[in-house]
Structure 1
């Protein structure tokens, strides 16, 4: 369903002048959720941007009706712990710390937190505690940047 929603919504978001970062779809029968992440790299995202995209996306979803029943639509900036959906997004943040949750265990584990060494469309290499792990992008359930918030706050104070 996420792929279907992405192919429907990404062109609209980009036509509105925003970067389509990604989409999360949670299909709980009582409360379906579509969470859409947008960005404007040099400027950032404000409430007005989220409202604008939300109005346009809602109108398109009403016409196309890809999700049966009721759902909640959230439009958000990626924030400091930016979600990562594609190999290209990982590649954009080489050298940064990331947390990755795999759909199934690799090397006996599903959770990895380390520095992004390299990435392409198919694989991401993370360095975790001095060891390199090659993770298949298609096997990633969820991933996001994991900046050292304390260090960032310390930098702001100086």
Structure 2
């Protein structure tokens, strides 16, 4: 996490906690010539609505104006993480057990760096994903430190 996203997390966490929402992720990225501060929120049930996003956006905007932690111009976006929600925290992975996921690794495992399948287990050091390769299913064990990206995915084969 960058210094800016850490600062934003300190500002937005009390806001989402007060509204009984969940902070999913924070991004501060440059796209073209513009900078974007993106805050992804959800409800514990996974059904965030536009009014809740607007509430968080308004309150966070006030805090950002008050504290001014970002020197350059940027656009603030507060939204749902969507159907392909990122998996970053321990709780995210625990809640995703049994769900279809996409995992990208820093280095190849059995010649592959991308895995799509059902998350079978998540432990202190590794996770297990059931992956379909053509007509057969295999279980792949992925060390946590090798994970570059993890998110929920949509199973189009179902």
* TM-score when normalising by structure 1: 0.77
Q: Which runs of 5+ in 2 are unaligned?
A: 133-137
Q: Is the 8 A contact 2:22 2:42 kept in 1?
A: yes
Deviation at 1:94, TM superposition (A): 0.4
Instruction: Call closer, same or farther: CA 1:91–1:11 in 2, change over 3 Å.
Output: same
SS of residue matched to 1:20? strand
Aligned residues: 149
Superposed CA RMSD = 2.5
Q: 1:120-148 deviations in whole A, cap 9, x for unaligned?
A: 46543323231322231x55443221122
Report whether the alignment pairs 1:98 with 2:101.
yes
- Mapped to 2, the partners of 1:24 and 1:94 lie a distance apart of 25
- Alignment counterpart, residue 150 of structure 2, candidates 143, 149, 156: 143
- Alignment counterpart, residue 115 of structure 2, candidates 75, 87, 112: 112
- Alignment counterpart, residue 132 of structure 1, candidates 140, 143, 147: 140
- Mapped to 1, the partners of 2:124 and 2:15 lie a distance apart of 23
Q: Is the 8 A contact 1:87 1:122 kept in 2?
A: no
- Alignment counterpart, residue 68 of structure 2, candidates 65, 69, 80: 65
